[in-house]
Chains A and B, each alone.
Chain A
Amino acid sequence: MGWAKYHEDNISRYWRDAKSQVRFPRSPVPGAVHVKNSPSKGDASVNIKSVMGEGKMMKEFTIAAAKPLPVIVLADVSGSMAENGKIEALNIALKDMIRTFAGESRLRADIQVGLITFGGPQATLHLPLAPCSKIADFPDLSAAGRTPMGHAFALAREVIEDRTLIPSRAYRPVVILVSDGLPTDDWEQPFEALCQSERTQKASRFALAIGSDADEDMLRRFSNNPEVPVFKAHEARDIHRFFRAVTMSVTTRTASANPDSALPLTLGEIPEDGELDLDFK
């Protein structure tokens, strides 16, 4: 659209136009280096440098990192996970996922992974939220003790609600819960808080039930996507398959035109088409 009366400073316009009569090739590299010189009037080389360097200016005001897409894994490391090679499979699957995220080069988002483990007396922030490209490795998980899942929910909520850890320019987080048993602590209240807090309720939640002892009802409540049922792992290699599916889902999202596209856009309550009930009083 275009469209306006010109009431600008004509002297300025013609002065600029006279300079722009000499057309210089645009830098093939966006934001080519701006070399500051002592300008002298009529020196074309000075003009070239200033034109080429203009793309650099926005660097002063912009954030030098892609928008984050946080992926937070809540991993059950209670004693039962030591059986049948489950904890070993989980270790391999998690490291494989992080390696794949880090190796993707055409992503439109900075995938960040955090790992909260729950086994023993309390949950632990095993791997603080960090860009995958900066996670060299993390200590192997070992399985022991009870299943303090409620504390893991509370930790996850703390991380997601913390705007210094996950800024408002981030895409909606993905939270993955992996468990093979029943929670052994008071989990209902932290679970409700996770599902209803201002930011955490917007996260995409996926759940993997390992074995027949997993609390599938609770895991089904955890998953907030009705189209995605609770995944079930009957054997250790299913854990790896699940994380490969998560990896593919996240990388597909982040390489797409809109990395939030797989998630519903929050627009509040949308009225029926044709209905117009305005409230401007």
Chain B
Amino acid sequence: MIRAAGVTLIGPAHAEMGLPNQDALGLWGWNRGWIAAVCDGVGSKPLSHIGSRLAATSVRRTIRSDISWENPNALVEILHRGWVEALKPLSPNEGATTVLMAACNASGNTFVAQLGDGIVLFSSNGQFGVLTPARTGFVNETTALGPSTSGDDWHLARLQLSRPGDGVLLATDGISDDLQPERLEKFFRAMCKEMASRNRRTGRKWFHRQLEAWPTPGHCDDKTIAIVYRAR
């Protein structure tokens, strides 16, 4: 059984300034599986919160249109074009946003994609992995829908969630920047375990409490996390 949970929480800095949460979260049931989208509007763009929400719905629309996963580049191009259309009359640069997405059907066949920062962790056939490449520069350097126009900027993978504990975790940089790199697998396993003991609603509440009590000093960014996993 494939299950999912997620939550988005405005960061302390945006809350203090009365700004909107620039992250967006989408979780939709699909083919007895799930579609998850986690998008982070680029902070320097004042309307990026609109871009991030439209990117999440563009993920849903693209996956539900049953485009073949055999050509993932074509899929993300359709996603990108759909987002640009939905964003009008805003320009792509005004709505710049990162995109992390996962689509998993009932049999555990999963497609994951990432454009920009944040992190995508997964376990496929029992093997843990990180889709996200190591960052070489500094924080807040990211590509995004809008500035990026190349399929080469995307990181794509096909996974099989075949065993209990297999899953995909998507998180924006408000979370991923503060994670200990050497404990990513333990983090992923712990989140899967916690979610497996809860339903989606209580799982969301649990995530919410964790993000509200985020322990890293000085954290200020919006935080969004979603997990799609095989419960049994």
CB–CB A3/B215 < 8 A: no
Docked complex Cα distance between A57 and B200 (Å) = 19
Within 8 A of B (CB), among A236-279: 256-261, 265-271, 273-274, 276-279
CB–CB A4/B34 < 8 A: yes
Task: Of the listed stretches A58-66, A80-88, A116-124, name the one at the interface; the rest are far from the partner chain.
Answer: A58-66
CB–CB A108/B13 < 8 A: yes
Write the nearest CB–CB distance from B128 to chain A, whole angstroms.
14
For residue A162, CB closer than 8 A to chain B, the reply is no
For residue A9, CB closer than 8 A to chain B, the reply is yes
Task: Of the listed stretches B61-69, B160-168, B178-186, name the one at the interface; the rest are far from the partner chain.
Answer: B178-186
Asked whether A199 and B140 contact (CB < 8 A) given A31-B215, A63-B216, the answer is no
CB–CB B215/A64 < 8 A: yes
- Chain A residues closer than 8 Å to B143, beta-carbon distance: 267-268
CB–CB A64/B216 < 8 A: yes
Asked whether A257 and B13 contact (CB < 8 A) given A171-B138, A265-B42, A265-B140, the answer is yes
Q: How many residues from A make CB contacts under 8 Å with B?
A: 67
Write the nearest CB–CB distance from B78 to chain A, whole angstroms.
9
Asked whether A58 and B215 contact (CB < 8 A) given A8-B3, A202-B137, A276-B149, the answer is yes
- Chain B residues closer than 8 Å to A276, beta-carbon distance: 81, 84, 92, 149
CB–CB A4/B27 < 8 A: yes
Asked whether A257 and B19 contact (CB < 8 A) given A16-B202, A54-B209, A65-B216, the answer is yes
Q: How many residues from B make CB contacts under 8 Å with A?
A: 79
CB–CB B27/A63 < 8 A: no
Write the nearest CB–CB distance from A229 to chain B, whole angstroms.
24
CB–CB A20/B93 < 8 A: no
Q: Can you name the residue of chain B whose Cβ is closest to the Cβ of A54?
A: B209
Docked complex Cα distance between A271 and B93 (Å) = 8
For residue B91, CB closer than 8 A to chain A, the reply is yes
For residue B70, CB closer than 8 A to chain A, the reply is no
Write the nearest CB–CB distance from B192 to chain A, whole angstroms.
13
Instruction: Name which of B73, B194, B209 has the most chain A CB atoms within 10 A of its CB.
Output: B209
* Per-position 1/0 for A133-160, Cβ under 8 A of B: 0000000000000000000000000000
Docked complex Cα distance between A172 and B137 (Å) = 8
Docked complex Cα distance between A6 and B62 (Å) = 22
* Per-position 1/0 for B3-19, Cβ under 8 A of A: 11000000001101101
Within 8 A of B (CB), among A1-58: 1-9, 12-13, 16-17, 20, 26, 30-31, 51, 54-58
Partner of B14, one of A199, A257, A259, A269: A257
Docked complex Cα distance between A44 and B54 (Å) = 43
CB–CB B137/A199 < 8 A: yes
* Per-position 1/0 for B109-152, Cβ under 8 A of A: 00000000000000000000000001111111111101111111
Asked whether A61 and B177 contact (CB < 8 A) given A54-B209, A265-B141, the answer is no
CB–CB A61/B187 < 8 A: yes
For residue B46, CB closer than 8 A to chain A, the reply is no
For residue B170, CB closer than 8 A to chain A, the reply is no
Instruction: Name which of A58, A60, A66, A269 has the most chain B CB atoms within 10 A of its CB.
Output: A58
- Chain B residues closer than 8 Å to A107, beta-carbon distance: 218
CB–CB B142/A267 < 8 A: yes
- Chain A residues closer than 8 Å to B137, beta-carbon distance: 168, 198-199, 202, 266
Can you list 6 residue pairs at the A/B interface with Cβ under 8 Å? Answer: A109-B218, A170-B139, A171-B138, A258-B43, A276-B92, A280-B80
- Nearest 4 CB-CB pairings of A with B: A55-B213, A66-B218, A5-B29, A280-B151
